[in-house]
Each structure stands twice: as structure tokens, then as C-alpha cells.
Chain A
Amino acid sequence: PEAADLRVLAKHLYESYLKNFPLTKAKARAILSGKTSDNAPFVIHDMKSLAEGEQFINCRQLPRQEQRRTSMGLIQSELQSELELRFFRSCQSRSAEAVSEVTEFAKSIPGFVNLDLNDQVTLLKYGMIEVLIIMMSPLMNKDGTLISYGQIFMTREFIKSLRKPFGEIMEPKFEFSVKFNMLELDDSDMALFLAVIILSGDRPGLLNVKPIEVLQENVLHSMELHLKMNHPDSLQLFAKVLQKMTDLRQLVAHHVQVMQLMKETEIDMCLHPLLQEIMKDLY
């Protein structure tokens, strides 16, 4: 393909990314480094701050007067357990919302909606967790992660301290993200990488692989060119980005295992129907 066409594709995917995803990497990094004019995020680092911040989880705008609320008293252990479950449910509803954002992004990839509808479902089902992990990375640093559109920062130690298996879900994602963030991709690079992941022709059960591979090949060319122009000093960046796809598959396998464990041990837990569809029979 002509270089000009590949640049148009990169621009188109970047625009779609900006349109569909509410928190960009640029904004997340500004919040994490304190270089934003907005208020600093509310920090959740223990059960008390979780109880205080709980009602604002998944709010796009944190009410100003509520940010400095204090003294909720000690949380009893049974209440703690409920609090963990409620927090997990709100994570699920944000994840379901993110699934719909990713679906809209996928539909904007040129040629995607012309694929067999069953194959569109398969690509999204198998690519979704990988895409969500990549999208989570810019929100993370070694100490924690932004949630609720960047309104809240939750510490890694606190997440780790949640009762099993809740405490185990995020740790491998933190390990991956810290390494992935070292590649220093920006939002325009991320848009291309997400499209490459979605257009994986080796997902189980695909009916018509060839047109998917053709689409992916085109996005790969576009990403290779874009990375060279956007990061002229970063050697082998294209290859390094592609290598991350292997790590992603392992992360998904771990995620599925933990979710399975939850299903068995947490009788009170009810998985969001959209997430159930994605998780069911996944590997």
C-alpha cells in the first residue's frame, strides 16, 4: 500500500480512539505525574478510603465537597467483605462499558463490519481482554492505577491486600504494564496496536480467516510506518510491540483462571451478562 494510505489509516484509527475512549494515555499520564490543572485524584489505599470513595467509583466527575470527607469509623469484617464485592461489581460495570467502547472502536476499523458477523463476534470475544489490558496500562504505574475516568487512584498494595482471589486479579497486569509503559507508546500508537490485536486471524473458531489477515496486514504496515516516524530513535520498536502480544495471551489465561476460581468460591458474585458472554468457553 502507498505510504499516504497507511498514514490516512493511522490518522483514522487515532481519531476513532479519541472519540470512543474517555481517558487517553496523555490525560492519564498528566494526572499520574501531577501535571494537570484538575484536582488530584482521590486515593484509595485501605478499606476506610474505599468506603469513603466507594460512591464515586465510576463517576465521571468527583463532587468537590465530598472529596475531603473523613472518619467513617472502623469497618467490620463482614462489612468489608460486602464492600469488596460491591467494589468488584462496580469494576464489572465499568468493564462492560469499556467492552462497548472497544466494540465501537472495532466497528470503525475499515473493513471490520464487512467481515462475517460470526467472525466479528469471535474477534471481539477473544481479543477483548487483551485489548482491555492494553488500555489499562497507561492508567497504571508501579504503585497503583487510576480508575473511574482518572478520578480515583487505587494503590497496588491495597488491591493486593483484598481477599483471595480478588487480590490476585491485578498483580500480573501491573507487572505487564510497568514493562509495556517503558515502550512509551502514545495514544496514536496505541490506536494502531489495538486494531492489530482485534484483527488476529488465529482466534479459535473463525470461519473466514483470509479477509481478517488482509485487514491486519494493512494495519501492521501502517503501524510499522507510524512507529518509525513517531519514534525515530527507538530501535526495533515495531518488533518489541508485537512481542507483547505473546505476553497478553498468558495474561488472559491467568485472568480466566482467577475468574473461574471466583465463580466457584464466591457464591454471592454475579458476573455481568455481557462479561459472562465473553468469558464463557474462552480457552
Chain B
Amino acid sequence: LKEKHKILHRLLQNSTSPVDL
């Protein structure tokens, strides 16, 4: 599941990154 939701996963692990948005 983590693999299919990389951005969501990253948002959960780090603070908000504008790069993803």
C-alpha cells in the first residue's frame, strides 16, 4: 500500500513539502 501511495506516504512521514504540490 505504501508503494502505491508514495506522495501520501511521504506527507505522513515528513512535514508538508511544496514539491509534492
Measured between beta carbons, the chain B residues less than 8 angstroms from A103 are 8, 11-12, 16
Known: A97-B21, A118-B2, A205-B1. Contact between A278 and B12, CB under 8 A? Answer: no
CB pair B4–A277 under 8 Å, yes or no, is yes
CB 8 Å contact bits of B1-21 with A (1 = contact, 0 = none): 110111111011101100011
Q: Are B5 and A121 in contact (CB under 8 A)?
A: yes
Of B5, B15, B16, which contacts A277 at CB under 8 A?
B5
- A97 neighbours in B (Cβ, 8 Å): 21
Is A90 at the interface (CB under 8 A from chain B)? no
Expressed in whole angstroms, the Cα–Cα distance for A278 and B5 within the complex equals 8
Which residue of the partner chain B has the closest CB to A280?
Answer: B4
Say yes or no for A213: interface residue by CB 8 A criterion: no
How distant is the Cα of A104 from the Cα of B17 in the complex, in angstroms? Answer: 11
A117 to B8, CA, bound (A): 11
A85-109 CB contacts (< 8 Å) to partner B: 93, 96-97, 99-101, 103-104, 107
User: Can you list 27 pairs linking A and B with CB atoms under 8 Å apart?
Assistant: A93-B21, A97-B21, A99-B8, A100-B11, A100-B16, A100-B21, A101-B16, A104-B11, A104-B16, A113-B12, A117-B2, A117-B9, A117-B12, A117-B13, A118-B1, A121-B1, A121-B8, A121-B9, A121-B12, A124-B12, A125-B8, A205-B1, A274-B7, A274-B21, A277-B5, A277-B8, A280-B4
Identify the B interface with A (CB < 8 A): 1-2, 4-9, 11-13, 15-16, 20-21
**B-contacting residues of A (Cβ < 8 Å)?**
93, 96-97, 99-101, 103-104, 107, 113, 117-118, 120-122, 124-125, 205, 273-274, 277-278, 280
